[in-house]
Chain A
Amino acid sequence: MAKRRKLPAPPMPSALQAPPPRPGEGNGATPIDHAAEAGKTVVDWVDERTSLSGAARWMMFRKVPKGTNWFYTLGSATMFAFLSQAVTGVFLAMYYRPDPSGGAYESIRHVTNEVFLGQFVRGMHKWGSSVMVILVFLHMGRTFFFGAYKYPRELNWVIGVVLLILTMTMSFTGYLLPFDQRAYWATIVGVNINGTGPLIGPYLSDFLRGGGEFGATTLSRFYAIHMLLVPGLLAALIGAHLYLVAKLGTTAPPWIKAEKNPELRKVDA
């Protein structure tokens, strides 16, 4: 670190001059250095007891193939869309009341019209859900067209399909929560589409409604599925998905050919 050039101090009465450094002090450390040192101490303390830094290095410092491009960011983009949904959803839950006799609609109206930044946060959640579904499909398309679902990554494709289904479940259950006319009738239709599956369909739609008719607990059922059941599964499976990505590595794009030069194909020991 280069020493900062300092102008000579102006002549000051000795009472106002800074006292000379005492023995053992003044080794040139600034408060920033002290803060950095404290941070390192804390990180070391945690790492000594958890060995987390090894896991972080394993996760973050991976070799990626030649030809990795912007299409490879779609998975991370989907994950950030999920995180955005999780955060905005938690704060929307602070205002939302799953009460079918008017309270649900009223609480959403209150969030949209009266709460500070309420319209913005609700808008993030509403539009973010569409963004997430679009990103999921783009990510899936990238994986398909780059052939990244092939051995040994088939299991990660399967987990991804489950994540897609869970994302659709989130969209379906979340659509009812504003409890306006559109939400109500779309859910009636959606539940009945589930019911058209032979043999198990009728039981599935009864499970979703919690009975034969749209009832008093249907809304709270959807709310519980939307904010407790599915998000937990989603988070856990995203963890498994990421673990497999880190373990198996990413694929090169299909247009990258293997190196012909034998020197360059040598693997470092």
Chain B
Amino acid sequence: MSDKHSQHKSRYTVDRQIPGAFEGETVTRRRFMTIGSQAAGGVAAASFLLPALGFAIGPIFKEQPHTWESVGPTDMFPDNNYIPTVITLTPGIGEAGKATVYVRKRNPLLDTDKADLHTQFIAITSRCAHLGCPVRWVDAAERFICPCHGGVYDLLGRRVGGPPVRPLDRFYTRVVDGLVQIGPRFSVNSELERFSPRDPGEPIDGIGQYMYPSRPSERK
């Protein structure tokens, strides 16, 4: 029989004088049933909660296929002014899935960012880098101007005024059979260096690129 005041107690229920305990039993049947039924309830709840949660947040991690959309022949786009074109970002939802993209030919005198096969034409989004309103290219001012909160960008899409935190996003372009095609989006920092696409309002200069991580599905 164990001492009432001793710190150490036997593991065996029969030693603890629990009525009906078997020799060698360490957990009472009552306690075992309690743990067992709570575990069963937990499993039952998890079996519908986890799939439902995964179902709700799944689209975040889904990789979107890269699509290329033709917007016009190469001679349609000058190298000193933008031509507005409309591409479909999300098919199947009509007007809500379309977006304006401003396109011009690359101008070696102006464009100092990295030149490669996919930047022979410069395609600049109309999505303001502040909070996503549609910017408009104003030819006379040679500025992109946002109607919502007064963001202003220059010819290269760099911020020159207002609240935006980074330059306007761009799209990769390519030429296929004499047609300019617009591909996936990428973001640029204030040096016009390329980054994985970020949402508006997310700075990517300096620490910003770590504070606002890109999508796992679109990271390169």
User: Measured between C-beta atoms, what is the minimum distance from A214 to chain B in Å?
Assistant: 6
Q: Find out whether the CB atom of B96 lies under 8 angstroms from the CB atom of A184.
A: yes
Kindly identify which residue among A193, A195, A210, A214 contacts B96, using a CB–CB cutoff of 8 Å: A214
Complex: how many Å from CA A196 to CA B199? Answer: 8
User: Measured between C-beta atoms, what is the minimum distance from B19 to chain A in Å?
Assistant: 36
B60 CB-CB contact with A under 8 Å:
yes
Q: Find out whether the CB atom of B201 lies under 8 angstroms from the CB atom of A196.
A: yes
Known: A195-B199, A203-B60, A211-B64. A101 touches B92 (CB 8 A): yes
Complex: how many Å from CA A100 to CA B197? Answer: 25
Known: A189-B148, A201-B202, A213-B89. A102 touches B211 (CB 8 A): no
Known: A185-B133, A207-B56, A213-B89. A192 touches B201 (CB 8 A): yes
- B177-220, CB under 8 A of A: which get 1 and which 0? 00000000000000000000111111000000001111101100
Known: A192-B131, A211-B62. A100 touches B93 (CB 8 A): yes
**Chain B residues within 8 Å of chain A by Cβ, number:** 31
Known: A101-B93, A195-B199, A202-B202. A212 touches B218 (CB 8 A): yes
Known: A189-B133, A207-B56, A213-B90. A195 touches B202 (CB 8 A): yes
A188 CB-CB contact with B under 8 Å:
yes
Complex: how many Å from CA A202 to CA B214? Answer: 8
Q: Find out whether the CB atom of B60 lies under 8 angstroms from the CB atom of A211.
A: yes
Q: Find out whether the CB atom of B211 lies under 8 angstroms from the CB atom of A198.
A: yes
Q: Find out whether the CB atom of B211 lies under 8 angstroms from the CB atom of A214.
A: no
Q: Find out whether the CB atom of B93 lies under 8 angstroms from the CB atom of A212.
A: no
Complex: how many Å from CA A185 to CA B97? Answer: 13
Q: Find out whether the CB atom of B197 lies under 8 angstroms from the CB atom of A212.
A: yes
Kindly identify which residue among B89, B96, B148, B202 contacts A100, using a CB–CB cutoff of 8 Å: B96
Give B84-125 interface residues, CB cut-off 8 Å to A.
89-90, 92-94, 96-97
**Chain A residues within 8 Å of B218, by CB:** 212
A43 CB-CB contact with B under 8 Å:
no
State the total of A-B contacts with C-beta under 8 angstroms.
Answer: 86
Complex: how many Å from CA A211 to CA B60? Answer: 5
Q: Find out whether the CB atom of A101 lies under 8 angstroms from the CB atom of B96.
A: yes
A217 CB-CB contact with B under 8 Å:
yes
Please name the residue on chain B nearest to A103 by beta carbon.
B94
Give B104-160 interface residues, CB cut-off 8 Å to A.
131-134, 148
Give A173-215 interface residues, CB cut-off 8 Å to B.
179, 184-185, 188-189, 191-193, 195-196, 198-199, 201-203, 205-207, 210-215
Complex: how many Å from CA A102 to CA B93? Answer: 8
Known: A192-B200, A205-B199, A214-B96. A198 touches B212 (CB 8 A): yes
B50 CB-CB contact with A under 8 Å:
no
B176 CB-CB contact with A under 8 Å:
no
**Chain B residues within 8 Å of A191, by CB:** 132
Please name the residue on chain A nearest to B90 by beta carbon.
A215
Kindly identify which residue among A102, A195, A199, A210 contacts B200, using a CB–CB cutoff of 8 Å: A195
Please name the residue on chain B nearest to A224 by beta carbon.
B56
Please name the residue on chain B nearest to A225 by beta carbon.
B56
Residues of B with Cβ closer than 8 Å to A? 56-57, 59-60, 62, 64, 89-90, 92-94, 96-97, 131-134, 148, 197-202, 211-215, 217-218
- Taking A179-B96, A217-B59 as given, write out 20 further A-B residue pairs in contact, using a Cβ cutoff of 8 Å, ordered by the A residue number: A100-B94, A100-B96, A101-B96, A185-B133, A185-B148, A189-B131, A189-B148, A193-B201, A202-B198, A202-B212, A202-B213, A205-B199, A211-B60, A212-B64, A212-B217, A213-B90, A215-B93, A216-B92, A216-B93, A216-B97
Can you list 30 A-B contacts (CB < 8 A)? A101-B94, A101-B96, A179-B96, A184-B96, A185-B134, A185-B148, A188-B133, A189-B132, A191-B132, A192-B201, A193-B201, A195-B202, A196-B201, A198-B211, A198-B212, A202-B202, A207-B57, A210-B60, A212-B217, A213-B90, A214-B89, A214-B96, A214-B97, A215-B59, A215-B90, A215-B93, A215-B97, A216-B90, A216-B92, A216-B97
